[in-house]
Amino acid sequence: KNQVEQSPQSLIILEGKNCTLQCNYTVSPFSNLRWYKQDTGRGPVSLTIMTFSENTKSNGRYTATLDADTKQSSLHITASQLSDSASYICVVSATPGGYQKVTFGIGTKLQVIP
Amino acid sequence: DSGVTQTPKHLITATGQRVTLRCSPRSGDLSVYWYQQSLDQGLQFLIQYYNGEERAKGNILERFSAQQFPDLHSELNLSSLELGDSALYFCASSVEAARGGYTFGSGTRLTVV
């Protein structure tokens, strides 16, 4: 069964600190992995996308890594800001038999406090 | 503004009733997806349409149905509503084979009382 597991479920950090969110997946055959940011009550917004051959992708203060061998990804947030408070969702796409299947993780809820 | 428009933004209705949620995809996107997100839960895939045809079905209840019209807008119909149907309903759109690269709307918050 295709699964995407994220940890921790929630996290509180002080403004200005760094943090790392984890995503483990069992989805196959792997196509790509995306991280989305979802502000409370809003739709998710894509942050990064990585394919099998990419192991690092940055978007400003967000850096995603991918280890396709161990099926793990992380999202590192540098110098956190209050506006980073949101849920971060890991999304993995597979292409079984050429058909596209997308699996969402449940998300990590990040709270940045002053 | 993501380019995906969902209406209404909020909806309050009684148990047993029927409601229709509407979604207009981003210009040029042929695929429309519907997701349900209950309080503090992850996004649950309901159904996907591509250019008017049903493409994939997730955990969608029989009380729920959807369609995509020739102008590519989509409607999600929820009937015989129960308290547990209260949730945020998101529509997303993409080009074909977007492989997870969706553009989400801002959602419709449904409250069943």
pLDDT at residue number B98: 56
Express each pLDDT in A49-101 by its tens digit: 898 888 999 999 999 999 999 999 999 999 999 999 999 999 998 876 656 67
pLDDT at residue number A52: 83
Chain B CB contacts of A44 under 8 Å are 43, 90, 102, 104
Q: Rounded to the nearest 5 degrees, what angle is found at the Cα of B100, between the Cα atoms of B8 and B3?
A: 35
Chain A CB contacts of B99 under 8 Å are 31-32, 93, 95, 100, 102
Residue B7 tokens read as 């209406």
**Which residues pair with residue A91 across a beta bridge?**
A34, A104
CA A88 – CA A8 distance, rounded (Å): 11
Pairwise pLDDT comparison (B43 vs B79), residue with the higher score = B79
Residue in A59, A70, A58 with CA at minimum distance from that of residue A25: A70
Nearest-by-CA chain A residue for B89: A43
The strand ranges marked E within chain B are 5-7, 10-13, 19-24, 31-37, 44-50, 53-57, 64-68, 74-78, 87-94, 103-104, 108-112
pLDDT at residue number A62: 97
Inter-chain contacts counted by CB atoms under 8 A, chains A and B:
50
Test A45 with B104 for CB contact under 8 angstroms: yes
